Amino acid sequence: MRQIDFELTTYCNARCAFCNRTNDPALKLEHMDWNIIENIPIERFSHLMLLGNRGDAQMYPKLFDLIKHFERNSKAVVTIHTNGSYRSKEWWSELAKIHRYYKANKTIFALDGFEDTHSLYRKGTDYNKVIENIDSYIKSGGNAWVQTLIFKHNEHQIDEMKRMLKEIGITKIWIRQSRSYNDELQRPELMMNKTRHEQSYDKKRVPISCIHQSGDVYIRVDGEVRPCCFMGDEKYKQEFIEFMKRDLSCLKYIIEYCKNPRSINLKYHTFDEVMDSVYFKAIKKDYKKIYQCNLKCRVRFDEIVKEERM
């Protein structure tokens, strides 16, 4: 399946401790320009994900227009990822009415426990408001899943959560490890598997599985295209450029890229020009040598994720 991961905005109402945006003093607050949206050939993709690394789709001022644009111009399934704690219940009801045009379209709400635990990680969000908004979205015909990050402080609540979520009409719960743990946000006993980070460079495990090789892309808020969310942040582009400088077989790519860093930006180029750029040629050729690719994509997904239909 070919999918686009959109970073629609860098605005968010929450301050989740391990989120890329939370402690980034250089974070520039912006929304994706509509001109960028119009330059994306959405008709070629089967899944459009409103996810991103540094923001929340509910903050995007033109979200309703965007969903209508997707419905008019593509056959792709649309998934929205959100903390669900901003906007009124009326807004969520309206969103459901616009979004429910395919049964497979869904919104994945982040819910990490109950009133006493949810906001320990999802700081700045309100458990009761999330539940109210989920309820409103479902009652207006929306298909809602829940994603739960599991910590020591909420692992004992999972069974009770499943019962409650089933009752309110959630169709799937997706239980995931946190990408990090610390003294305050501790590792659960229930899931002692290594995190993705801890599995890195364990060469005996599995080969690198690259979603970009099958056509997936990540589009940043500023219009830059990257192969995936793992390469989404500025430091990973710099890291890749440094890598290319050291590898003689890549030198010609990097010299060309440095002449035109805008070559991967949809503000200045068409999607096909971007895919044909030296940056993407180099990624396709050498991703297996890149540190970030080894760190993020040499893992077995079934070891780190649990999904349950309700």
Strand ranges for the chain from DSSP E: 3-6, 47-50, 77-82, 106-110, 144-150, 172-177, 217-219, 225-226, 305-309
Instruction: Select from 18-26, 175-183, 253-261, 262-270 the region that touches ligand SF4 (CB under 6 A).
Output: 18-26
DSSP 8-state class, residue 9: B
Q: Which of 16/37 has CB closer to ligand SF4?
A: 16
**Which of 66, 81, 133, 217 contacts ligand SAM by CB under 6 A?**
81
28: phi > 0 → left, psi -120 to 50 → alpha, else beta; which? beta
Site membership for ligand SF4, residue 140 (CB under 6 A): no
Whose structure tokens read 């990973």?
236
According to CB under 6 A, which residues from 119 to 148 bind ligand SAM? 147
Rg of the chain in Å (alpha carbons): 20
CA distance linking residue 297 with residue 309, whole number of Å: 26
With CA atoms as reference, report the closest residue to 197 among 303, 294, 306.
294
CA angle 176, 11, 169 (to 5 degrees): 45
The one segment of 7-15, 137-145, 171-179, 265-273 that binds ligand SF4 by CB under 6 A: 7-15
Q: How far is the CB of 195 from ligand SAM (least distance, A)?
A: 8
Closest C-alpha to 96, from 105, 87, 83: 105
Query: Half-sphere exposure of residue 112, counting CA atoms within 13 Å on the CB side?
Result: 23
| Residue among 219 and 231 whose Cβ is closer to ligand SF4 | 231
Closest approach, Cβ 124 to ligand SAM, in A, equals 11
- Count of residues touching ligand SAM (by CB under 6 A): 18
Choose the one of ligand SAM, ligand SF4, none that binds residue 287, judging by a C-beta under 5 to 8 angstroms depending on kind. Answer: ligand SF4
Residue 199 interacting partner from ligand SAM, ligand SF4, none (CB closer than 5 to 8 Å by kind):
none
Residue of the chain from 112, 225, 287, 299 that contacts ligand SF4 (CB under 6 A)? 287
Sign of CA dihedral 23, 24, 30, 36: negative
Chain centre distance of CA 2: 15
18-47 footprint of ligand SAM as x/- string (CB under 6 A): xx----------------------------
Pick the piece of the chain touching ligand SF4 (CB under 6 A) from 19-27, 29-37, 67-75, 97-105.
Answer: 19-27
Please report, as ranges, the residues that interact with ligand SF4 according to CB under 6 A.
12, 14-16, 19, 21-22, 55-56, 83, 208, 210-212, 227-228, 230-231, 283, 287, 292-293, 296-297
